[in-house]
Structure 1
Amino acid sequence: MPPQVQNQIAQLQQLQQQAQALLGQKSQIEMMIRETESAVKELEASPEGAVIYKSVGEVLFKADRTKLIEEYQEKKEVLDLRLKTLGKQEERIQKRFTQLQDQLKASLGQKLPEAA
């Protein structure tokens, strides 16, 4: 197999690994967004004077409801931005993957008649 074809196959495999890693990250971020949205919903549903605790590691601290809602909303914004960035990275990888596939098909197409 020509070195160019081997290189293209290696690049395709690398892009596939990157895409799988991105999908894992996206899934994790999406789960964190759902958890954050759920926490905000529960906090907003709680009465104004309710005693709220925040978990920091293995320790619980008393927290201000309003500040905690703001903190979780900011966290969600950051996660949404991260998810959007991962989506753009995924699009770039998919585009590059398609280009490499086409190049590989062209390379193999050129080599097959010579071998026949």
Structure 2
Amino acid sequence: MNRFQQAQNQLQSVLLRKQQYEAELRDVEKAMGEIEKLSQDAKVYKSVGNFLLQTSRDVALQELKERKELLELHIKTLSRQESMLREQLDKLRDDINKELARIRGGGEKQQTGAAAKGGG
């Protein structure tokens, strides 16, 4: 049961991080789309801490492209972890159900055996 709880907690953590990366990926893709609409000589600013720094359109696009690739890699990795954890949870759930069935089955046999002895 402890391993099942731990796997559930890990899965929740993975799903949360995956959602965060997916949201950031959507933001990056939206920013890329907007920057691509700009002319080559348009002023582009990026946020660096508390400052906005001017950069070129092409540099901004390149940085966003790199960030997009990194986010996609993180999402792919988390998807694999999610899949593995779901498989692990399914196996643990089956193990728990088998153990519960064994315990229930054993308890019924003991009761049936006790009733047979008492009735004889």
Structure 1 residue runs without a partner (length 5+): 1-8
- 1:43 equivalent to 2:43? Answer no
Structure 2 residue runs without a partner (length 5+): 109-120
| Larger RCO of the pair (alpha carbons < 8 Å, separation 6+) | 1
> Which has the greater radius of gyration?
2
Alignment of 1:13-24 (within 5 A): 13-24=5-16
Q: For the residues of structure 2 that align with 1:103 and 1:60, how far apart are their CA atoms?
A: 56
Once the two structures are TM-superposed, the CA of residue 52 in structure 1 deviates from its matched residue by 1.0
The answer for the alignment partner of 1:93 in structure 2 is 85
2:106 to 84, 92, 114: 114
1:103 to 75, 80, 95: 95
Aligned alpha-carbon RMSD (Å): 0.8
- 1:66 equivalent to 2:66? Answer no
Q: Percent identity over the alignment?
A: 33
> What stretches of structure 1 move > 2 A for 4+ residues in a row?
none
- Please, what TM-score do these two structures have when normalized by structure 2? 0.87
- Please, what TM-score do these two structures have when normalized by structure 1? 0.90
Offset from partner CA, 1:2-25 (integer Å, 9 cap, x none) = xxxxxxx11111111111111100
Offset from partner CA, 1:46-100 (integer Å, 9 cap, x none) = 1111111111011011101101101101110110011000000000000010001
The answer for the alignment partner of 1:4 in structure 2 is none
- 1:30 equivalent to 2:39? Answer no
